[in-house]
């Protein structure tokens, strides 16, 4: 009888422990599985209403795209992908090939800047190594040499306005310890944000078959980056002058203007739409790419992205078509 009682007692304890481990002391626990290999980012989880027995979805404060949303007034048939989001109301206004994996070119630098701002300070002094010696033909460079020094703030301005690839390497090595360490940080942050169809193998966006993203994933990354006021200020800067130093302490002057042709005044957005800022990207493989933060007449925010346009003029003409939907 004693042995039987002990067995019954032990079994009862096991049941109680199992109950609390599953229910969390009486509070339901909901496991929301997601697959990093899913063809659709953002976990595709939505909630139908507010209830104590309904788990809050990962993407409750994000725009969600499960299929193309096209308009007769917008023709994006000649680009790789295009999206337009009402960022304040979490509404998808236009979507074409949003989840197709494409080369991001220098839109990559949005994530580079975002991770750097998360893990460093604007006044941190960065020192260049031979990692900045990029020899790829046509690569945008500011001419950094091993031993050159500048602050993180200087580097980020050069990265986001002038899109210098050597500065991307400078930032990555100084923040991550190694380039590989920084890439791990970029890819982990992409996963955290739900950008499950994105993979980075460099911090600048020069072409590599294993370096890709989607228009929707770039929205997720950009939407997070613009929460930082320093980042937001930098992407709307039109020109920048600065002085950095070589290994011997000799001053080196640098002056440039933004690559964004809206901010340059080469193209005008539709009436009642103001382009705040964004990022450009161009390689032979990626085509011409553009990501923008804009506002309407009431101050509401919009995010628009076009990937793989054939020419720069077509890119900006297409972006004007997208932005014109804000007024409708």
What one-character-per-residue DSSP string does 42-70 give? STT---SS--TTSPPPTTTTS---SS-B-
Residue 1 has pLDDT above 60, yes or no: no
Instruction: Give the start-to-end residue ranges of the domains of the chain.
Output: 81-327
For 71-124, the pLDDT digits (tens) are 989 999 999 999 999 999 999 999 999 999 999 999 999 999 999 999 999 999
For 170-229, the pLDDT digits (tens) are 999 999 999 999 999 999 999 999 999 999 999 999 999 999 999 999 999 999 999 999
Count of Cβ atoms closer than 10 Å to residue 71 Cβ: 15
Cα–Cα distance, 127 to 148 (Å, whole number): 6
Model-level pTM greater than 0.85?
no
Q: Is 109 noted as a catalytic residue in this protein?
A: yes
Q: Which of 41, 95, 106, 304 is catalytic?
A: 106
With tokens 């404060």, the residue in question is: 61
Cα–Cα distance, 91 to 321 (Å, whole number): 18
For 137-148, the pLDDT digits (tens) are 889 999 999 999
Q: Which of 41, 109, 279, 309 is catalytic?
A: 109
Indicate the class that CATH gives domain 81-327. alpha beta
Query: What does the block give as tokens for 279?
Result: 């990022």
Provide the CA 191 distance to its chain's centre, in angstroms: 11
Q: What are the residue ranges of helices labelled H in 152-227?
A: 152-157, 165-176, 179-192, 215-225
Reference 203, options 157, 171, 232; nearest CA is 171
What's the pLDDT score for residue 319?
98
Q: Which of 41, 95, 163, 294 is catalytic?
A: 163
Reference 106, options 2, 205, 251, 233; nearest CA is 205
Contacts of 168 by beta carbon, 8 Å cutoff, 6+ apart: 108, 109, 112, 159, 202, 203, 204, 205
59-75: average pLDDT:
89
């Amino acid at each position: 009888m004693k042995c039987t009682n002990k067995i019954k007692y032990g079994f009862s304890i096991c049941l109680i422990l199992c109950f609390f481990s599953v229910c969390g002391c009486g509070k339901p626990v909901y496991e929301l599985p997601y697959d990093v290999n899913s063809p659709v980012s953002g976990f595709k989880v939505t909630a139908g209403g507010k209830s104590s027995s309904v788990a809050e979805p990962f993407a409750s404060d994000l725009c969600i795209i499960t299929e193309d949303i096209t308009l007769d007034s917008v023709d994006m048939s000649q680009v790789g992908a295009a999206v337009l989001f009402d960022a304040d109301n979490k509404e998808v206004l236009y979507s074409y090939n949003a989840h197709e994996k494409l080369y991001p070119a220098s839109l990559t630098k949005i994530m580079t800047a975002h991770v750097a701002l998360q893990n460093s300070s604007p006044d941190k002094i960065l020192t260049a190594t031979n990692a900045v010696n990029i020899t790829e033909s046509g690569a945008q460079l500011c001419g950094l040499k091993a031993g050159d020094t500048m602050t993180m703030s200087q580097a980020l301005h050069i990265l986001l306005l002038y899109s210098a690839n050597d500065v991307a390497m400078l930032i990555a090595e100084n923040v991550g310890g190694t380039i590989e360490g920084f890439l791990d940080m970029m890819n982990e942050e992409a996963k955290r944000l739900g950008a499950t169809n994105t993979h980075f193998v460099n911090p600048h966006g020069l072409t590599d078959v294993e370096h890709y993203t989607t228009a929707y994933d770039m929205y997720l990354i950009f939407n997070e980056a613009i929460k930082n006021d320093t980042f937001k200020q930098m992407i709307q800067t039109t020109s920048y002058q600065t002085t950095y130093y070589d290994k011997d302490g000799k001053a080196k002057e640098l002056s440039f203007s933004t690559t964004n042709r809206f901010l340059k005044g080469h193209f005008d957005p539709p009436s009642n739409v103001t382009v705040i800022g964004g990022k450009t990207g161009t390689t032979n493989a990626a085509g011409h790419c553009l990501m923008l933060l804009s506002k309407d007449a009431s101050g509401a925010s919009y995010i628009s992205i076009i990937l793989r346009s054939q020419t720069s003029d077509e890119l900006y003409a297409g972006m004007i078509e997208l932005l014109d939907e804000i007024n409708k």
